[in-house]
Structure 1
Amino acid sequence: MYKAIGICSNMQNKLINTAIINWNDKQTPVSSLFDDVYFSNEDPCAETRFVFIDSNHLPERFIQHQHSQFVIGETGFGSGLNFLLAWQLFNQFRQQYPHHPLKQLHFISVENYLLTPNDVEKIHAYYHELAALARQLQQQWPAPIAGNVNLTFENSKLTLWLGDISEYSQFLQQANLKVDCWFFDGFAPAKNQAMWSETLFKQLFQQTQPMGTFATFTAAGFVRRNLQAAGFNVNKQKGFGRKREMLIGNKM
C-alpha cells in the first residue's frame, strides 16, 4: 500500500512514472527502460558499502562531525538500498556514541521512476541483514506523485524529490539544503546521461558543503571530466569486485 507524506501541494497531484522491471537469469531486477540492473549480481550490500559508505569514509566522518545533522545527497533512489545501509550505519554510530552531538542523518534523494510496493518488497527480500529496516521503509513507501516527500525514522530523516533530475537542484536550493557527502548513483552513464551531465554536477556542486565528498561506481571518462568541470577534485580508486576503477572526490 502506498503512503504519501508531505507532498508539495503546488505539483497538483501530477503523477510520475512507475518503474517497470524484469528479472534476469540471476534473478537480479533490471530496468526495462534503461536496460540496466538495480544492483550488483554479486553482493549488493557489499557493493554499496564499498562504493558509497567506505569510499566517503562515513564511519570516521560521523565521529568527526560536530553538528547535529549529517546530510547525504543521492542521485537515483531506486529500491532505497543506499539509504538503508547508511541508516543502519548511523544507528550503529548512535548506539556506540549516544552522547555525540551528531543526532540525525538526513538522507536526500531523487527518483523519477518509482518502484511499485510489490516490486520493492520483492527486491528487499534480497537484503536479508536489512530486513527490519526495509520493512519500515516499505510501510512508508510513497505514492508516485510529483513533489517532495519527507519520511521520518529512528535517528534518520528521508527526503525524496519525486520528479525529473533537472528539478532536483532547484528543490535543494529552495529547501536550503547543503550536502556533506554525495552518492552519485543511477543507471549506467551510457544509458542515462542526464544523471551524469556537467550541468547537473555544477548545480549539485553549489549545494555541497566545503570539503564535502562524493563517490560513484563509474569511472567513465566523460563523467570524470564533467565532475572536474563542475569544480570537484576527482580521483580514481579500485572499483568493487571485478570493476577495475571508480571515482571519488571532494569540494575544496
Structure 2
Amino acid sequence: MMGYISDDSRKVTTHRLVEMKQRGEKISMLTSYDYTMAQIVDGAGIDVILVGDSASNVMAGNVTTLPITLDQMIYHGKSVVRGVKRAMVIVDMPFGSYQGNELEGLASAIRIMKESHADALKLEGGEEVIGTVKRILSAGIPVMGHLGLMPQSINKYGTYTVRAKDEAEAEKLVRDAHLLEEAGCFGLVLEKIPAALAARVASELTIPVIGIGAGGDVDGQVLVIQDMLGMNNGFRPRFLRRYADLHTVMTDAISKYVSDVKNLDFPNEKEQY
C-alpha cells in the first residue's frame, strides 16, 4: 500500500512548519545520519530530518549520547545535507558544545551551520540555556528546543523514565516551554512526558511542538529511524511503532550472500566481465 507522499516539492523551512501547525497539518520527522539514508527518507516525503546526537548510540555503539563530539556531529550533518532536497535538516548540538558559556555555544553553533550547511540546530534545556539560545538566535541561526527527557542529562537523573509526572516538574516544563518560545525558538521537541501535559504545551504555544513518547495531541512526531525500521531488536519502548523488520531482512540477505560465496554461486557467469 502506498503511503503519504507530499506533492509540494518546495524546501521545508521554519516558516512552513509554523504554517503547518496553523492549519492543523501534522509534521513528520525522522533521524538520519548518512547520505544514503537521508536520500531515502527525503524521497519518501519526510518534512524534517534530525541529525540527532543519537548517532552516538545507533551509529557508534555508545551507551549514551554524551561521547559524540562536535566534529562528529558536523560530519554526520554534512553527509545528510548532501542527500536532501526538500526536507528541513536540523542538527543536534552535542553535549559539551553549549553548556559552558554563551560565547562557546555561539561558536559551536556557527561551526555547525557553516560546515554542515544545516538549516537549523536543536539543543536541550530550558531556563538554564536561555542565554545561549538568545545568543545563537542573535546570529540569525534558527534554534529548536528540547524538553522532557533530555538524554544529555542522563547522569543527573540516572534513568530514561517518563519525565514531568509530578505537578512541580510539569509546571517547570510549561514555564521553560514558554521561555524558549519567547526567546525565539521556532519549534520544540517534547520527549517522554505525559500525553496530557504535551497537549497542554502544544495548545499554549504558537510554535510547532514535536513529540516522541508524548502522545498524539502535539503538532508532529519524531522517531529514530533505526528504531522505526526494526533494526534494533533489543529496543522496544512503549512509544515506538515498528514499520518494518529490517533486522531480519538484512540478516537473511547477508546470510544468503555468505552462502552463495561459500558455495561458489556468486558471482555467476552473468555477473562477470
TM-score by length of 2: 0.35
More strand by share: 1
The structure whose Rg is larger is 2
Bigger RCO of structures 1 and 2 (CA < 8 A, at least 6 apart): 1
Between structures 1 and 2, the one with greater helix share: 2
